[in-house]
Structure 1
């Protein structure tokens, strides 16, 4: 089916597959989705996965995005009369998984909605009608008969404050909603080919789970107490079966690395209020790129003691503006008072607007932090309309600025720690000077590069090293395109000086620079000696850098008798 959404034709299809005895996956395939939450470079669409368990009693685990309303409901009716549903398990209340809860309640008025306390509270406010509910805590069970006993595993902040996993003791299927998922759409229900999905799997983790690494580890500890897990039924992308141990092991390793960070930033937001959750996630992702850990906390459900404990270890605090009116205002204002009372002058802070009309002024909140002696980590982020690509990129770059500021002393210490002889020896490795330019959607980025080399003949390919905390890193995923601009010896100082300066978050890096567009849409520097059009094929994790391998499809030299600018460093442990 081709569906029309917001004037754009998009391909939406449905798939049903039996994944275990009495258990059917209902997958809504969104083939053309090109952006999801903060994930800037989504290349492979996404899926919204729902699951039907039919035993003596029946349970539906999650629903779907409202864009699939008719397709999903027709598919569900082809499997069961919805009026026969006994339970609806709401893994969390984010709209892409609970967007059709109202429709299910209309079709099955006697259904019991199962969820965490916070989830049920959210639904009561949203549905605005009475419904039967069952609040579950960790280890609570729902018996469907014939051995299908659903056990709740509390997993808050993955990546929604009300998240639960659900474990079927008979089939050993663990339903995890967002966790362990990815935005990858194809006809394969399971993870048959890990090579196809591992980049999307890591990208998803980095964007949505990495900022909640400590919560990931807590969920993994609870999972360790379960009997054997045969399948992880995710809310997005393929289900994990063939590579389950490998991929969950990667989550554990990545999260342990994040949790070991010496510095932590507390990020406070309000779920389902304006765009607070998405904006905070973008800022958090930018922070984690610098090696600084993030603890995210939802002001709707934050416990005062937990706030105090987090603030006592945090080197920085980021807060979304709370509402001044409505049901959430009193709770959020109380939590904010606890945060302000737990600050100390050594902390840095950042403030962003939530994008809702009745929010407190960002500047009022900034003044409160300043009056307490805190140092601003980035300028307040003002959001008046629906966030677009530029706003999300600004948020990510602001988070990176804050993370770099907080980790500066550590970086200087590490720079001084290398043996001087080795340091000088490494500095003798010479390299050319280049500027990488890229465009994705409506935003552009650039950086000076020196660690560039030809990597292959067939196909023609180059390698580029990109520090993980560079803004352009978000433009260098598999499938992305960029321009490698070669700087000219004796005529590079102007361009190098321009692109080496520190740009404020969201700034136009090409202001005052003459460019023209390549066939791949990226800017070509008019004063470059040569350029090459490149497409990213793979990324290799090299500690504090990514090594990007890209194929080259086109190029041109402007001066055949000129030479490439060469860079010689005195030392080898920093630029």
Structure 2
């Protein structure tokens, strides 16, 4: 059933949502699916901005045909060549053989790798600041390399102030009846998923995000149309400020998170006791997570949100407890910065996880490691209360 929606004059959303997908990129758990957004401008010339994932191909193609209503498709603007947005390019070309593909040089390198059969298709190669006239609408192109692929670009409609932002400003989560962020309680429904999306998908590329935010600051943006999640038409500055914080690795708040690994419950018990003392001494909110039960993408998102991270980890085969080691590897690969870590290790005969976690964290930029480290021998007892109190105090005062 055709289900497209109007954004502003002659500009339409023609996407859809996949609520069956359990893992984005076959890695990140999805609690409420994901949307795939695609857009059309119907002017003297018509333009399709990106396609969609194959999982919603029927809906996407119905929407495209419905909004064109028999008109010729003149341009397909390719802002991003990742398969969840480019999978329908060959199908669209087959349905519209005279369409001209619009992208940058790197776009067409990737296009030839995914769709070599389109090598002879009509193309326009654009660079920074180039424009494309559709009639009353003028499209201007903003290069956004490594946000989060090297070919990524934004398209800005100078007539309506619509910024088609590729994977920037996106979020996990299906879109329900409304396509606009202000139709939801965004902080309650989407903010955690927007942060998790940013931290795990784009987080490594803070410097590149900063570069494109500076470009965006010079545009009169009235709408932000991402490829995932709702469209922004109100409170745009609020969401851009989130990107400003996230891309500069600036904590959103002063909350503390405690992440523990535990084989038999002793390290968990110690972590819970420490969390209670941290809440009491700091007056801050303290969240506790089991590294074995919480997906690493959720933990990474919390690291992006909070300033202080407390890790309780048993020694395992003379090393770091495996789920904790995997989490720390994610932090390293995503280039976590500007955080304070405190470490507690447990071991029955040869505690070693603290030293090894320290070595991993010291590879991160501008990360502070609180002293003293807390060492637990098998289990925490009343005789350890003085050491625990000193540890918690050091975290609070760090």
Establish whether TM, by shorter chain, passes 0.5: yes
The equivalent position to 2:287 in structure 1, one of 443, 464, 486, is 464
What is aligned with 1:135?
125
Superposed, 1:513-528 pairs within 5 Å as none
Structure 2: distance between partners of 1:255 and 1:112: 35
Question: Secondary structure, in 3 states, of the residue corresponding to 2:28?
Answer: coil
Q: Which position in structure 2 is the counterpart of 1:16?
A: 4
The answer on 1:503 being equivalent to 2:321 is yes
Measure the CA separation in 2 of the matches of 1:206 and 1:464: 18
**Residues 1:194 and 2:12 are matched in the alignment:** no
- Which blocks of at least 5 consecutive residues in structure 1 are unaligned? 1-12, 261-432, 439-444, 457-461, 479-494, 510-542, 546-562
| Cα shift at 1:87 | 0.3
Q: Spell out the pairing of 1:125-274 with structure 2 (5 A cutoff).
A: 125-129=113-117, 130-146=120-136, 148-187=137-176, 188-192=178-182, 193-195=185-187, 196-226=189-219, 228-257=220-249
How has the CA–CA distance of structure 1 residues 167 and 191 changed in structure 2, closer, same or farther, with 3 Å as cutoff? Answer: same
**Residue 90 of structure 2: aligned partner:** 102
Relative to structure 1, is the Cα distance of residues 503 and 154 closer, same or farther in structure 2, using a 3 angstrom cutoff? same
How big is the shift at 1:40?
Answer: 2.7
Q: Distance in 2 between matches of 1:446 and 1:97?
A: 42
TM-score normalised according to structure 1 size = 0.48
CA gap of 1:508–1:89, structure 2 versus 1, over 3 A, is: closer
For residues 198-250 of structure 1, what are the alpha-carbon distances to aligned partners after superposition, in whole Å with 9 as ceiling and x for unaligned?
11111111111210001101111111222x10010000011122231101111
Higher normalized helix content (fraction of residues): 2
Partner of 1:368: none
Which structure 2 residue ranges, 5 or more long, are not aligned?
252-257, 280-284, 302-312, 328-366, 370-380
CA distance in 2, matches of 1:125, 1:463: 48
For the structure 1 residues 232 and 466, does the alpha-carbon distance in structure 2 shift closer, same or farther, using more than 3 Å as the test?
same
Q: Give the direction of change, closer, same or farther, for the CA distance of 1:140–1:172 in structure 2 (3 Å limit).
A: same
**Alignment deviations for residues 133-155 of structure 1 (CA, whole Å, 9 cap, x no partner):** 01110100000002x00000000
Is 1:568 equivalent to 2:386 in the alignment? yes
Give 3-state SS (helix, strand or coil) of 1:152's partner: strand
The corresponding residue for 2:46 is 58
> Residue 466 and residue 60 in structure 1: after superposition, are their counterparts in 2 closer, same or farther (change >3 A)?
same
Q: TM-score, normalised by structure 2?
A: 0.68
Distance 1:101 1:567, change over 3 A: farther
- Aligned pairs (5 A) from 1:371-390: none
SS in 2 for 1:71: helix
Task: Please state which structure has a larger fraction of its residues in strand.
Answer: 1
Is the 1:451–1:464 Cα contact (8 Å) retained in structure 2? no
> 1:305: which partner in 2?
none
Distance 1:238 1:142 in 2: 26
Deviation per residue, 1:3-39 (Å, 9 max, x gap): xxxxxxxxxx974210010001012111232211275
Conservation of the 8 A alpha-carbon contact between 1:52 and 1:59: yes
**Distance in structure 2 (CA, Å) of the matches to 1:61 and 1:499:** 52
Cα pair 1:448 1:496 within 8 Å, conserved: no
User: CA–CA distance in 2 between the matches of 1:14 and 1:544?
Assistant: 54
Taking structure 1 as reference, are residues 53 and 252 closer, same or farther at Cα in structure 2, changes over 3 Å only?
Answer: same
Given that residues 77 and 101 in structure 2 are in contact (C-alpha distance below 8 angstroms), is that contact kept between their aligned partners in structure 1? yes
Q: Is the 8 A contact 1:15 1:29 kept in 2?
A: no
State how 1:29-108 maps to structure 2 within 5 Å: 29-37=17-25, 40-80=28-68, 84-108=72-96
Q: Do the aligned partners of residues 238 and 466 (structure 1) sit closer, same or farther apart at CA in structure 2, a change above 3 Å counting?
A: same
Distance 1:155 1:84, change over 3 A: same
State the alpha-carbon separation in 1 of the partners of residues 326 and 155 from structure 2. 46
In structure 2, distance between residues paired with 1:205 and 1:434: 21
SS, match of residue 177 in structure 1: coil
Aligned-pair CA distance for 1:118: 0.4
Secondary structure of the residue aligned to 1:138 is coil
- Of structures 1 and 2, the one scoring higher in RCO (CA 8 A, sep 6+) is 2
Q: Classify the secondary structure of the residue corresponding to 1:257.
A: coil
Q: CA 1:247–1:434 in structure 2 vs 1: closer, same or farther (change >3 Å)?
A: closer
Q: Structure 1 499/39 Cα, relative in aligned 2: closer, same or farther at 3 Å?
A: same
